[in-house]
Amino acid sequence: MIMFWNRKEIFVGNSVQKFDEIRFRLSANNIKYDYKIVDSTSPGYFGASTRARMGSYGIDLNLTKTYYIYVHKKDYAKAQALLRTC
């Protein structure tokens, strides 16, 4: 099981295509992974989001989400070698 104390970040980025490609490659090679998606336009812990306070004019909506992929520490080297060809 992948928990926060035994995982390493293998990908962080804004491209949903790259995010999907990496997840597909990891699955195809039987490497377990966990992921997180952070949306900068969604409300935070303390109420209104940046979008609610300032609007969204001029914001590139393709860059509002950040994707993170994590693998177990023991699989990190294998995943890293696999993604070098990506």
Tens of pLDDT along 28-72?
999 999 999 998 776 665 555 555 555 555 566 666 789 999 999
Tens of pLDDT along 73-86?
999 999 999 998 76
DSSP strand E in 1-86: where? Answer: 7-13, 33-39, 65-72
Residue 26 has pLDDT above 70, yes or no: yes
At residue 34, the 3 state secondary structure works out as strand
Q: Could you tell me the two tokens for 49? A: 């989001």
Sketch out the chain's domains with CATH numbers. Answer: 7-84 (3.30.70.1370)
Please give the pLDDT value at position 42.
65
